[in-house]
Amino acid sequence: MASPPPSTAPARLVVLVSGSGTNLQALLDAIGDDPEGFGAQIVAVGADRSGIAGLERAERAGLPTFVCRVKDHATREEWDAALAAATAGYRPDLVVSAGFMKIVGKEFLARFGGRFINTHPALLPSFPGAHGVRDALAYGVKVTGCTVHFVDDGVDTGPIIAQGVVEVTEEDTAEGEAALHERIKEIERKLLVEAVGRLARDGYRIEGRKVHLGHVGE
Ligand code: GAR
């Protein structure tokens, strides 16, 4: 699967958030007032809940936002279709799950498969799911980190775009999950910005599990 050939217009990004939105902020800061230079612009921010800092960041940046809550829909499938429709309304080239704590369904993947990326706070395929940092700590790993990957129909199983490594030290106790997560997020924000920028500027190919940046059409 290949992305469309890079055009001169910046790629359109919809970013999905559930929480503090510091990864969204890193993208906003990197794009700044030069979307052409970065190769992408954020056209909307979506969330699965209201009243979160991530949405406030979007509003401060003057971006349109939308909220699509599971509990407002009769079934998970209906929620998924509504999220897909709301996202599609902004005609994104790429959709970025930046701390979006929901698993999307068939409809969303049918529309955005191959251009939907996620950032996860562990070195996949180890420690997928909602508690990557806690699970890695509990396992006693010596290194952990973060993974930017395409989303497929599994939980954090899609092709890997980029990974960053963080050492786990003796000071990282089970109670220190938040501190370790913060160290991971420092690396993660840079990794996400670099990965999104390269996907947008250089194009990419997905061959099986391998993601090739650039060289579209080769
Ligand atoms: C990030 O560390 C991201 O990897 C994680 O939530 C955090 C969001 O931070 N996502 C997951 O755990 C998904 N399984 P942010 O709201 O400050 O960007």
Helix (H) or strand (E) holding 12, with range, is strand 11-17
Work out which ligand 1 atom sits closest to the CA atom of 132.
12
Please write the tens of the pLDDT for every residue from 97-122. 999 999 999 999 999 999 999 999 99
* Centroid of ligand 1 to alpha carbon of 67 (angstroms): 18
Output the pTM of the full model: 0.95
What residue ranges define each of the domains in the chain, with the CATH number in brackets?
Answer: 9-112 (3.40.50.170), 120-147+163-212 (3.40.50.170)
**Pairing state between β 94-97 and 65-67:** unpaired
Q: Is the CB of 145 under 6 A from ligand 1?
A: no
Query: What contacts 218, CB < 8 A, 6 or more positions away?
Result: none
Minimal-distance CA residue to ligand 1 atom 6: 99
In the residue annotation, 212 being an active-site residue is answered as no
> Rounded to the nearest whole angstrom, what is the distance from the C-alpha of residue 217 to the centroid of ligand 1?
33
User: Quick one: 114 exposed, middle or buried, by C-beta within 10 A (0-12, 13-18, 19+)?
Assistant: middle
Catalytic residue among 120, 131, 212, 215: 120
Q: For 119-139, give one letter per residue: b (16+ CB within 10 A) or e.
A: bbbbbbeebbeeebbbbbbee
- How far apart are the C-alpha atoms of 36 and 41, rounded to whole Å? 8
User: How many Cα atoms within 13 Å fall on the side-chain side of residue 92?
Assistant: 27
127-149 per-position pLDDT tens digit: 999 999 999 999 999 999 999 99
